[in-house]
Amino acid sequence: MRRRLYFMLPDVPSARAMLDELLLARIEISHMRFMARDGALPADMPDVNILQKTDVVHGAQLGIIIGGVVGLAAGVFLTLFPLDGYTVRTAAILLVALGGALFGGWASGMNAAAVPNSRLKQFASRIEQGQVLLIVDVPVRRVDEIEDMMAKRHPEISFGGIEPPMLAFP
């Protein structure tokens, strides 16, 4: 299990130094992401992807829940009040609920792709000023070690916080 840590770095050269130090601390590059103004990061530094920049994940989760509830209600309604000449079985309730969840997740995820990540709102103004956000996923047992390493070696870095643990299924 991993925890996501956020650090604000003053500029791109300190972000490069932090990348090197985390690699030496045996944190894989696939668990690090940097977010800066457009075009500020060199191509060899891992940039945030669309899932981290936008609210796609949150939107899809919310859409699945709402779509599933609406689909369940529609399935129950169709079972209680079937159309003339049709018989609706109980399995139809589950199928309509599943269809509603899938459609809700897709539609809500598509809409959320245009919305900036709400978890990163607190860092937006500092990123626009030229600072760099480091997002690193570390094993739970190494969280304190990484925080201490950052504080000792780079006192200019501000700690942005730890993302709370997420449930596997919301």
Per-residue pLDDT of the chain (170 residues; tens, 9 = 90+): 788 888 888 888 888 888 888 888 898 888 888 888 877 788 888 888 888 888 888 889 999 999 999 999 998 888 888 777 777 777 888 888 999 999 999 999 888 888 887 777 888 888 888 888 888 888 888 888 888 888 887 777 766 666 655 544 44
pLDDT for position 155? 75
| Whole-angstrom distance, CA of residue 93 vs CA of residue 73 | 8
Burial call 66-78: b when 16+ CB within 10 Å, e when fewer = bbbebbbebbbee
Place of tokens 């609706």: 88
Dihedral sign, CA of 23, 25, 31, 33? negative
- Residue 40 phi/psi, 5-degree rounding, is -85, -30
Q: What is the pLDDT of residue 133?
A: 87
Alpha helices (H) along 25-81 = 50-53, 56-80
Q: Where are the domains of the chain?
A: 2-41+117-162, 56-112
Which class is 2-41+117-162 in CATH?
Answer: alpha beta
| Residues 6 or more apart in contact with residue 164 via CB below 8 angstroms | none
The secondary structure of residue 156, as a DSSP letter, is T
What tokens were used for 62? 């919310």
Spatial CA neighbour of 105 closest among 73, 151, 81, 71: 71
